[in-house]
Structures are given as C-alpha cells and as structure tokens.
Structure 1
C-alpha cells in the first residue's frame, strides 16, 4: 500500500535493479541514466549501499555489485539444498571419527564455516556456522589452531562458485592427519556417487 512505501529504500532498490544487466560495471553517469536520479542523489545512495557491501567502486571509479547480494542469495534455497546434501555426511564423519566435521567456503581470501557437526568429545575444535577467518595461504583454508590440526579436502566445483572444502579438525595428539585425509577423500567420492556410507575405521 502507498502508506507502506519508504522512498529512500525504494530509491536504493532502484539503484540495485540497475545492476540486473549483462553489463557488470557502471559509471556514475550510466547509473544516472538508468535510474533517472541526479548524480548527487546517486552518490548518497551508493555511499549507503557501499557501507553494507551491496555495491563496490573500483579503481577507475566505476560501480559494480558487492558481496552482500551473493552472500544473501546463498543463505536461502541453495543453502537449504547444501544442508540437505552435506549435513548428514558431516554428522556421520563427526560420529565415526570423534572429531569436528565442517564445510568451509573460501571467497576473496576469507574463509567461512558454512556447515558443521561437533563430536560428543569434551576436548574438540568448537567451530560454528558463520565463523570466519582470513586464509593465510592460497588454496589452504585452515585456521591457526594452537594444539590442534585441521585436515581439508577440496570439493569439486566450477570457476563460478567459491571453492568449498570438507574438513576434519581436533586435537593434534588425537587426530591422525593421514587417516583423516583418507576418510575425507572417501567422503568426497561418496558425494559424487550419491553413496551414504559412513567413514571407514
């Protein structure tokens, strides 16, 4: 209804709608033409959208979508599909190994825990969905774990989706990296074949 409209919000959404285009980068003049807004108005709107990472500005002064729209999109239907497919596997891995099993995602050197299953052990790596840290080495999502170890196995994917990794982590004296690597490789193979087998002892 008309009384429910918030003009500033609708203006910001109109700016975002301009990026629904095969064109990825826009000058301020191009956005002004696409939205019909004055450049001064656009700059205020883009400033707010930038603070929340909905848009970003490159070194040439052109505007493009930020990470927030993609991050929010992944939280819903694709996220539920991911949980349905992988969470049961993580539960089995944690139960069979007694270690923390997780799915990590890496984007722009930022690692995020997407899914996790914790073992019943009192001494364990307490990881939670949404936990984030910077990747210290390219193609290696492991965080620094004093007294602990994390073993990773990359999931097959494509160049469009951010890389994802299955992991097992726990105390260094208890988790055998070689055994964990073999278990993770078998788990990734089971995902590819649709098998529901658990981890091998």
Structure 2
C-alpha cells in the first residue's frame, strides 16, 4: 500500500541493488547511471549506508559492498545450520593446534573470513568474521601475513553452495605446514562424514 512506503528507505535499497553486478567496485557516476539518482542524492544515501557498513568507500572514491550484507546473509537458516556444524570443528582445531582456525569463503576476487576460533595463545593471528582481503590467485584464499603463515584446505562441496575453506594461521616459526595440513585434512574428513549421515 502507498502509505506503507518510505521513500528514503526505498532509495537506499535501490542504491544497494546496484551492487548486484559482477563488478567489485562502482564509481559514483556508475551508481548514478544504474539508479537514475542525482549524484548529490546518492552521496547522502551512501553516507548513511556507509555508517552502518552496508557500503564502503575506497581511497580512490569508488564504492563497494560493506560487511553488513554478508553478516545478515549468514543469519539465514541454512547458514546458521552450517555455522553450528563448523564452529565446533574450528574450536577443536584451535585447541589442538594452538593456532587460529577459520572458515574462509571467496566472492569475486576477494576472500572473506566467515567464522573464527582463536587459540589460547598470547602470540596469535588475530582474525575476525567479516574481514576481507584480495585473493592471491583464483582458488587461493590465503592471507599474506608478515612473519606468519596461513594454510588452507578446501571443504567438500556437500557442505556449502559456495567455495569454502578451513584455515590455520599463526607465526611462521611455530605453525608447521605439514602438521597444519594433516589437522585440516582430518577436520575436513570428519565434517564430510558428518554431512553424509546428517538428516
């Protein structure tokens, strides 16, 4: 019904819809062309969306989606179910290896941390859900860590519709790659077996 419409909200949502594209970033001119809004109107809308991290502005003035849309998407029941199955596995990995365990996903040319378990170590890799970084190469979600290392293991496709990885990260002198790969492979096999018997 017309009286239920809030024009400012609908304009903000229209601006967000413009990011449903293969391009990772959009200029203000591209957003204006996609939405039909004046640039001055868009700047006000984007300013409000940026404050709530729905969009982010880079140093070159281009706009991209922020972390909030992905955070809310993870509240969807299938994502909650997946998180409920994976978080205990991450907790076990962090406890047994003493390193940071995480669930990573990729979108376009970026990797994103979806879930994390931090070890009980004073010196550790601090990682938090929602953090994003450029992919080093297609299918390689590792984060470059000065003085540290990150080892990744792809999860079976049965565990999600998108490409997902388990990772272990920590100081290079402490995190042994071979041991990390063994721990990750064991966790992946356990999760795959659980997925096969899940109702």
Q: Deviations over 1:137-189 (max 9, x none)?
A: 2211111111111110001227x933111001111111110111011011001
- Indicate whether 1:116 and 2:116 are aligned: yes
Q: Name stretches of at least 5 consecutive residues in structure 2 with no aligned partner.
A: 22-32, 55-63
Question: Which residue is equivalent to 2:184?
Answer: 184
Q: Distance in 2 between matches of 1:137 and 1:115?
A: 22
Question: Which residue is equivalent to 2:152?
Answer: 152
Q: How far apart are residue 106 of structure 1 and its match?
A: 0.6
- Indicate whether 1:75 and 2:74 are aligned: yes
Within a 5 Å distance, the mapping from 1:161-200 to structure 2 comes to: 161-194=161-194
Q: Distance in 2 between matches of 1:70 and 1:155?
A: 23
Does the aligned pair in 1 maintain the 2:142–2:150 contact within 8 Å?
Answer: yes
Question: Which residue is equivalent to 2:59?
Answer: none
Within a 5 Å distance, the mapping from 1:9-28 to structure 2 comes to: 9-10=9-10
TM-score for both structures, normalised by structure 1 = 0.66
Q: Distance in 2 between matches of 1:85 and 1:170?
A: 24
Which structure's CA Rg is the greater one? 1
Q: Deviations over 1:22-62 (max 9, x none)?
A: xx9xxxxxxxxxxxxxxx9x6129x95x967x9xxxxxxxx
Q: RMSD value over aligned CA atoms?
A: 3.7
Change (3 A) 1:165 1:5: same
Aligned residues: 161
Q: Distance in 2 between matches of 1:100 and 1:110?
A: 20
Question: Which residue is equivalent to 1:140?
Answer: 140
Question: Which residue is equivalent to 1:43?
Answer: 36
